[in-house]
Amino acid sequence: MQKRKLGNSNLEVSAMGLGCMGLSSGFGPPVEKQQGIALIRAAFERGVTFFDTAEAYGPFANEELVGEALAPFRDQVVIATKFGFKLDPKAERPLVGVDSRPEHIRKVAESSLKWLKTDVIDLFYQHRVDPNVPIEDVAGTVKDLIQQGKVRHFGLSEAGVQTIRRAHKVQPVTALQSEYSLWWREPEAEIMPTLEELSIGFVPFSPLGKGFLTGAINEETKFGKSDFRSIVPRFTPENRKVNQTLVDVLGRFAKEKKATPAQIALAWLLAQKPWIVPIPGTTKLNRLEENLGALAVDLTPDDLRQIDSVASRIPVQGERYPESMQKLINR
């Protein structure tokens, strides 16, 4: 397995990680516990050393699953988890707001250590920026946790440029986790140049467009009530029909390279910067192996230019989040 470093932090991880959220929430019913453990361990056996979770996934169920799955080789892996949401585990939609007050961050850290069955969190992200708490207070609290030996690295998720800069002055930010793919290229404008300037790593989530870029979804696909995509504007049947054009383009490149559309999408992402580590998620072993196969796909500079040229002419239809969630992004 190829390795990459996140920024100048010397945090070395596998060139592709595993996003574990979908095993417990977000994309339909959770998988059976032993199935989830088996998938996480299969990823480790294939060289994956970077695993992403959060207290909000479940809530808590995903951290518990990841902690149990990785316990036998805890010292050989990097576990990232997150704080910053106000949760009501009994509610149908348990995320009821944001909360990055220092006392809440400390409480979440203790809870995550327990669920993950570990004595240190390798990478602790603020899940979403809290407009009611100065980012300096957030970074300072994580800095204290680092000094106490409970956390190793500090990260941000879906933060804007000024927030990243302000946080970085208090406690160096090791990684930013935000959505980035051929389906969502907004970070290229301001975020990525800032990360490069400050030597911060980039961990794209939804690198396959929440499954759309795999080619396994079309306008006829039905999403269950517990599948987040059922409320995402970009996933309405009409928008899926229009957005299929991009998947068709990936399919043509895939045929040339004897690869799959998903592998082309991931290989393109990996080729953008050496400090990018995508974290595609899956519940299926064959999809895990397909995703990891992207590491062997060689896209030449000419291939990349062609993909960029064609993709840039295809407007993607629909917002990537419902209106109620838009306000939590890029603060």
Per-domain boundaries in the chain: 3-212+269-297
- Residues designated as active site: 57
Contact 27, 229 (CB under 8 A): yes
Q: What is the pLDDT of residue 212?
A: 92
Q: 219 vs 273, which has greater pLDDT? A: 273
CB atoms within 10 A of CB 1: 12
Residues 6+ positions from 79 with CB-CB distance below 8 Å:
51, 53, 66, 67, 70, 116, 118, 121, 122, 123
Q: 219 vs 119, which has greater pLDDT? A: 119
Give the class (CATH, top level) of 3-212+269-297.
alpha beta
Q: Is the pLDDT of residue 221 over 70?
A: yes
H runs (alpha helix) in 148-186: 161-170
Q: Reduce the DSSP state of residue 281 to 3 states and report it.
A: strand
Q: Reduce the DSSP state of residue 142 to 3 states and report it.
A: helix
Condensed to tens digits (0 to 9), the pLDDT of residues 10-22 reads: 899 999 999 999 9
Q: What is the pLDDT of residue 328?
A: 61
